[in-house]
Structure 1
């Protein structure tokens, strides 16, 4: 089973200002790890999701897409804390910008998270908000250690958001512990610039590949596509643009799910195999991830594609 840990929340998306001057909001289930879990399941993977879900109506709204995709909520007992919220605005290029109000996604204990882990996870994918708060970071790192002890590959998508962090230098120190545990790290060029704008992508990647376990680094470049690096090769891929474009919400999460899916199918999600991928193998993985991400962008909000939809594009 793939296990994805991290926040779920409701995206309240602002609609264009109406003639009556009223701002109207649409509610969409979201959160980077939540989106990734759904994308993994829709691609045909056995997937468990590790995050508390509120007892409120928004919690019901979050559970619906999980159940429809076939994701197993690993924390069966729902919490009384209200669902976390993200207020989303879209710029002129339909790219999402966020402000967050957190509650239920933090309503956990370290022991409770570890107790909810399956006995033998294949992959533990986490990131998003996990490193932001010191007490949360400690708990999530313990979960990663427990998952690794049970045989899981550790994969990380930190989704760096400086606006959410009161002390960014302390956050970077906590994030370093996450990097030290990960076999695969995915970041955006914006993430890397936030961490250190003076370093090139290549410098960041070289430092990550020197970490104790890191074997593969994927960097997304927005409209510029994506790049992948191991010590044995590197590759790049263009974005896949769907015939009809909605927005980019969940695109990076879908790309990560696509990459993990193909790596698992090829038997490469094991120590040594991952780091041995050459340029041709990396290009194939990136292309698959790009199609998954592009198909997600065919609708407004996060709507990851099925495996049949991805295969149809790859075959065309």
Structure 2
């Protein structure tokens, strides 16, 4: 299965080994998910805009080094966002964002209309892209057109407070606009309020014909809603979806498991397959948090499978 991820790519600055030092890495949920999918062996492309500066070139090289096909154009206009990340002892994160004056993702639907998009069977995006000026139209187009073309659609609801300046009504409207196109939705326990709360998830799924909703529960694990049922998986010995990048590691491994099973329509989903995907994602997130979200900690397929056989014999 070929995957096309569309959205934002930014610079994360993680705490270094000495006080006051930082390690830079690629950030942004759509880009991180693309890298996670590629490290799981999926044929993955990423579509976005990058600044024509040291940071933008570093991000472009990061994609290539991790076997992601970039559908990227460098621009002299201000687009690069920087995020300074603080992690506590449990791996929970907080952000301080810095954006260049007038920063915009500058993504257009014309850029999305490319061979990689046409060839992909799965389209992935994240809600941050719905709050970024010109990218909103391009993201909605990618999801709606992909849905119309019979592609599977994956969406990650993330960064509600940061991306919409704590305006939950605006955030919820933006997310609900694209729900009719979505097959696989990832959402955190905290952000379930954007759908009206956890109790409303089944009715939202029925209303918008969403096949799978995976709710991440921090150290407690994950809860999967599917076919009128709930599948719950306890977390491993870390807050595996809370450290930066770990949620994307989880989702990358989850989608990769569906990809390897050659799922091309949601009617092919089975409980056995969903359990396999949840377990792979759980281990991927746990592996990622061990290194506090460093880009090289997004695990490979071999690393995940090594622990799968140990923890789920």
Instruction: Give the shorter-chain TM-score range.
Output: 0.7 to 0.9
CA shift, 1:6, in A, is 1.2
Deviations 1:44-97 (A, max 9, x none): 00000011122110112212321121100012x311134211121123423111
2:50 equivalent among 53, 73, 79: 53
SS class of match (1:214): coil
SS class of match (2:85): strand
CA shift, 1:254, in A, is 0.8
Instruction: Provide the rounded CA distance (Å) in 2 between the counterparts of 1:208 and 1:273.
Output: 21
Instruction: Provide the rounded CA distance (Å) in 1 between the counterparts of 2:47 and 2:258.
Output: 22
CA shift, 1:260, in A, is 0.6
Q: Are positions 1:216 and 2:217 aligned together?
A: no
Instruction: Provide the rounded CA distance (Å) in 1 between the counterparts of 2:104 and 2:115.
Output: 15
Instruction: Provide the rounded CA distance (Å) in 2 between the counterparts of 1:65 and 1:105.
Output: 21
Once the two structures are overlaid, the 10-residue window that deviates more, 117-126 or 218-227, is: 117-126
Q: Report the equivalent of 1:111.
A: 110
Instruction: Provide the rounded CA distance (Å) in 2 between the counterparts of 1:257 and 1:288.
Output: 9
Instruction: Provide the rounded CA distance (Å) in 1 between the counterparts of 2:67 and 2:17.
Output: 34
1:312 equivalent among 303, 306, 309: 306
Alpha-carbon contact 2:44-2:68 (below 8 Å) kept: yes
Q: Are positions 1:147 and 2:146 aligned together?
A: yes
Deviations 1:225-244 (A, max 9, x none): 011111253211122348xx
SS class of match (2:267): coil
Q: CA RMSD in A?
A: 2.4
Deviations 1:210-250 (A, max 9, x none): 133310110100000011111253211122348xx9x8221
- List alignment gaps of at least 5 residues for structure 1: none
SS class of match (1:258): helix
Q: Report the equivalent of 1:126.
A: 125
- List alignment gaps of at least 5 residues for structure 2: none
SS class of match (1:40): helix
After superposing on structure 2, the runs of 4+ consecutive aligned residues of structure 1 that deviate more than 6 Å are none
Q: Report the equivalent of 2:256.
A: 261
CA shift, 1:271, in A, is 3.2
SS class of match (2:74): coil
Deviations 1:110-152 (A, max 9, x none): 2222346532211001014112246532331112122233332
TM-score by length of 2: 0.87
Alpha-carbon contact 2:249-2:284 (below 8 Å) kept: yes
TM-score by length of 1: 0.86
Q: Are positions 1:189 and 2:189 aligned together?
A: yes
Alpha-carbon contact 2:87-2:243 (below 8 Å) kept: no
Q: Are positions 1:289 and 2:281 aligned together?
A: yes
2:225 equivalent among 220, 225, 229: 229
Task: Label 1:263 to 1:240 Cα distance change in 2 as closer, same or farther (>3 A).
Answer: same
Alpha-carbon contact 1:183-1:215 (below 8 Å) kept: yes
Q: Report the equivalent of 1:298.
A: 290
Task: Label 1:69 to 1:149 Cα distance change in 2 as closer, same or farther (>3 A).
Answer: same
Instruction: Provide the rounded CA distance (Å) in 1 between the counterparts of 2:264 and 2:244.
Output: 27
Task: Label 1:70 to 1:195 Cα distance change in 2 as closer, same or farther (>3 A).
Answer: same
Alpha-carbon contact 2:157-2:186 (below 8 Å) kept: yes
Instruction: Provide the rounded CA distance (Å) in 2 between the counterparts of 1:293 and 1:51.
Output: 24
Q: Are positions 1:79 and 2:80 aligned together?
A: no
Structure number with the higher strand fraction is 2
Task: Provide the aligned length of Structure 1 versus Structure 2.
Answer: 301
SS class of match (2:131): coil
Alpha-carbon contact 1:148-1:154 (below 8 Å) kept: yes
Instruction: Provide the rounded CA distance (Å) in 2 between the counterparts of 1:115 and 1:314.
Output: 37
Structure number with the higher helix fraction is 2
